[in-house]
Structure 1
Amino acid sequence: MTVLAAESPLDAITVRAIAAQAGVGYATFFRHYGDKDELLADVADKLTRDLLDQVRPLLIERDRLAAARSLCDFVIEHLAICKALIAGGSGHTVRAEMLRQSMATVAMVRHRAADNVLDDLVLFHVVSATLNLLAWWLRHMDEVNAEAMAEIIERVVLTPTGALRLKPPASL
């Protein structure tokens, strides 16, 4: 899928092309996946897990700039599939699944349990804002290099959010 994603938009990739690239028969594909979207979900799931495994230790250490750099490095190392999944035609659907999985994973490694709805809202903001910034960057990589993007993510999302004292508004 990664090789095909580097050559064509996801919407243009057929199951026949995927099967041929994998060296399996067309019918064999359907023994493993119901359709292309199931394969795409599997690929997105693995990509998200790998990305979180790389960035998580730095976030735990609270080295936000290093975490943002690691995130951008990961995107560059997996550029074709990241472009296809995060910034591609079905990017919104894939980002929604990556958001769900990222939130679940980050929630599991919190230093403390969520105290209130604001904790979950802040987590939602961090993950969705970061994915949206990455989607933008993947479309503008010729204008913004990885180091600059890492600084943007750190300054716009990670540090301001990390500085919040999560005291809920009176109405929550």
Structure 2
Amino acid sequence: MRATFLELIERKPLEEISIKEITDGAGLSYPTFFRRYATKNELLEEIATDEVHALISLGHAALNGEGQGSAFDLCSYVHAHRKLWTVLLNGGAAHIMRAEFARIAEELGHSGPRANPWLPVELAAPFVTSGIFEILAWWLRQPEDYPLDDIVALFDALIVDVAARPRIVPALSRDTKPDQP
């Protein structure tokens, strides 16, 4: 069903896709859909969650200050799946994607060393999440030939450089670091 749904999203707007089309394309009976999903949006939410996991795995190195290569990989992935990401971010799944991304980002922030330990994870996770999704949603509203390298440069300047490049902030001492016990 997922594969059929993704194929349909590539060809037509989400609101024009029926559950019957999904089940027919998958070679399943109509009631089979409802054994797994309550609505078409629930299927979309599952796909959105999987896409967030793919994005995080590609962007993890960039967000840990390990270079622009991962920013390029992340943006290339979205570019290669532009139609799906347009539906997800500018359609009905943006809030789910943001929440899942922020949840995972916060988990990762607490799981090991960070480039900027003075930056509270509870602030960094939603800040980075919002920035990434605002850049991607804006980009997907631009003409398809908008240069990928420009998006990578924006991502690097607005997200990676601001939140992930190691830096010392004199106003915050180690003793007042918010996420230390």
Alignment partner of 2:40 out of 3, 26, 36: 36
**What's 1:27 paired with?**
31
What does 1:1-172 correspond to in 2, within 5 Å?
1-60=5-64, 62-87=65-90, 89-90=91-92, 94-110=93-109, 111-112=112-113, 118-142=120-144, 144-162=146-164, 165=169, 167=172
Could you tell me whether the CA contact under 8 Å between 1:44 and 1:98 is conserved in 2?
yes
Aligned Cα RMSD in Å? 2.7
How many Å apart are 1:141 and its aligned residue? Answer: 3.9
How many Å apart are 1:152 and its aligned residue? Answer: 0.7
- Would you say how many aligned residue pairs link Structure 1 and Structure 2? 165
Q: Pick which of 6-15 and 30-39 moved more.
A: 6-15
Read off the aligned partner of 2:151 and give its amino acid letter: M
Could you tell me whether the CA contact under 8 Å between 1:126 and 1:157 is conserved in 2?
yes
Read off the aligned partner of 2:129 and give its amino acid letter: V
Which ranges in structure 1 are unaligned for 5 or more consecutive residues?
none
Question: Percent of aligned positions with the same letter in both sequences?
Answer: 23
Which ranges in structure 2 are unaligned for 5 or more consecutive residues?
none
How many Å apart are 1:116 and its aligned residue? Answer: 9.3
Read off the aligned partner of 2:142 and give its amino acid letter: H
Read off the aligned partner of 1:128 and give its amino acid letter: S
